[in-house]
Amino acid sequence: MTTRPNIIFIMADDHAAQAISAYGSRVNRTPQLDRIADEGVRLDAVFCTNSICSPSRASILTGTYSHINGVSSIWTELDYRVPTFIDVLQAGGYRTAMFGKWHLGEHGDSLPRGFDAWKIFPGQGDYVDPEMIDQHGASHVSGYATDIVTDLSIDWIDGLGEDEPFCVMVHHKAPHRPWIPDEKHKHPLCRRQHPRARDVLRRLRDAQHGGARGAHDDRRRHGFRGPQVRGPRASQGP
């Protein structure tokens, strides 16, 4: 009998390829993500037809375009007019779970389906001591969002039997704005910051009022001329 693979799907929110050193980033270093790229497959040519938050999540779940699954904007909720791959896995004997940012609706028919366990942020969610929703309702969870989602996922996996194939969707809120690091990482991040990054970020923020050209000019003027890589995109939230 063929062994069924376990599936761990990890999503980051608004995490551009230019911020991952496996894709040539000169702004920061991401050694653990680089290790995944080295030991797996790095996609260099990916095209996404609707990369904003909710539509991209619906397409991942259903394998269909937005006009088929009905989720066309960040305000559209999932109505399950087409089945998800989670439905298929669960029907095939997989244990399934979803933890983190859902952003496909928080009430009634739009809540997660087909998962043995789930716990999600309402809307964008908060970074510190966030509210989360599960089958029993809403409650606040102490801690930092990234740690919470990771711990929930690991605890769920640890509770499974060795012969139970599983699929868990680990949907992080980070690094979506507002950019609030965990307190234990706040000062180390500041110390390791690229010597020009603070000034560039300020100029990029100011350039938003002058359009994309101003931001692009600032980027080039300050030496951020890394390769324009087409790669896998994280969900693009509002």
Please list the active-site residues. 53, 103
H or E stretch at 10: strand 7-11
Q: Are 97 and 116 in contact (CB under 8 A)?
A: yes
CA distance 168 to 156: 9
Token readout for 111 is 């809540």
Angstrom distance (rounded) from CA 195 to CA 215: 19
Which tokens belong to 151? 């711990």
Distance from C-alpha of 68 to C-alpha of 63, rounded to nearest angstrom: 10
Are the CB atoms for 5 and 165 separated by under 8 Å? yes
What type of residue is 177? Answer: R
Beta pairing, strands 137-140 & 166-171: unpaired
Name the token pair of 7.
Answer: 């599936």
Please report, as a single letter, which amino acid is at residue 5: P
Is the distance from CB of 7 to CB of 166 less than 8 angstroms? yes
